[in-house]
A and B are shown apart, each in its own frame.
Chain A
Amino acid sequence: MGVSFFFIFGAIGSGIMVISALNPVFSLFWLVIVFINSAVFFLLLGVDFIALMFLLVYVGAIAVLFLFVIMLLNLTDYPPAFFKREADMTNYIPIGFLIGVFFFSEASSSWFVLGPFQKENWDLSFPWLIISHHNIEALGQVLYVVCCCLFILASFILLVAMIGAIFLTQDKAPLGKTQQLLGG
């Protein structure tokens, strides 16, 4: 319980630092710390393959992509809106109040049903009750057999994203090479 709370508070505190950092590079590093904390929490939850894939995809690919774009575009001189004097946030009060009431009612309803604190013990090798295999084994059996069409569809989505990114960022190439004639 204490271990999971340590990583949960690490994730939440780093999330606060993500949205309040002045420099987007620092914000991105705090985002990496959020992802590492939540991946360790997923590991404690027993979904180890997804935790490791989370580290691989987010910290290895997406955070580096963001960092590369920030370095490429030199975006470090835009302060957040709430540090400016003229920022007026009073427009957001009614919708913020409604959303806050909604989420607080969600949390309090779960507390009313189950109670806020319960004793539990973590099991790092939790056997699945329905399919009694290891996590990656069970996930592979579901993903490759039952959801194979979804798997192929995901590969097509990644292909479309790759073609779109290349098409959006390429320079307009000239149509062909033209010969420059001397003395003409």
Chain B
Amino acid sequence: MYYKYLVVVMVLFLLGGWGVVLNRGHFIIMIVSIELVLLATFFFFLINSKEIDALIEQVFMIMGLTIAAAESSIGLALLVAYYRIRGTIVLKSFSSLRG
């Protein structure tokens, strides 16, 4: 009975992907759009967990929350390191991080 909310999952997922495509070159809004995609997947897991009465998807969602926190902190640390070296965050010169 909750399956009609999968449309919300779809719309949030497409909004996240659309934000990545439309805001190319702006690193912060790209990471924020990836957070939207993660939110859509969490919606998906919780709706399915409610629907089939399985708790393992909520456990998986907690693991995903951990990964999301770690990912955003590492990404923002990389951004700060890059800004300290280059003085800008334009994505076209990101290949200079290869060393």
Contacts and interface: CB of A to CB of B under 8 A. Distances in A.
Nearest to A51: B46
A15 B35 CA distance: 11
A73 interface: yes
A106 B2 CA distance: 15
Interface residues of A, number: 75
A69 B79 contact: yes
A40 interface: no
A2 interface: no
A154 B84 CA distance: 30
A118 B3 CA distance: 10
Contacts of A72: 80
A168 B55 contact: no
B77 to A, nearest CB: 4
A88 B28 CA distance: 21
Given A69-B79, A130-B53, A165-B74, A61 B69 contact: yes
A160 B73 CA distance: 11
Contact of A143 (B3, B15, B22, B62): B62
Given A15-B12, A72-B80, A45 B47 contact: yes
Contacts of A69: 28, 76, 79-80
22 contacts: A8-B5, A8-B8, A15-B12, A18-B33, A53-B65, A54-B42, A54-B65, A58-B35, A73-B79, A81-B22, A103-B13, A117-B4, A128-B55, A131-B55, A139-B58, A150-B63, A157-B70, A164-B74, A165-B73, A168-B77, A168-B81, A169-B81
Interface of B: 1-8, 10-19, 21-26, 28-29, 31-33, 35-36, 39, 42-43, 46-47, 49-50, 53-56, 58-59, 61-63, 65-74, 76-81, 83, 89
Given A15-B11, A103-B10, A142-B59, 20 more contacts: A4-B5, A8-B5, A12-B8, A12-B12, A15-B36, A18-B15, A24-B32, A31-B32, A47-B46, A47-B50, A50-B61, A61-B69, A65-B73, A81-B23, A110-B6, A114-B3, A130-B53, A164-B74, A168-B81, A169-B80
Interface of A: 4, 8, 11-12, 15-16, 18-20, 24, 27-28, 31, 34-35, 38, 42, 45-47, 50, 53-54, 57-58, 61-62, 65-66, 69-70, 72-73, 75, 78, 80-82, 89, 92, 96, 99-100, 103, 106-107, 110-111, 113-114, 116-118, 120, 126, 128-131, 138-139, 142-143, 147, 150, 154, 157-158, 160-162, 164-165, 168-169
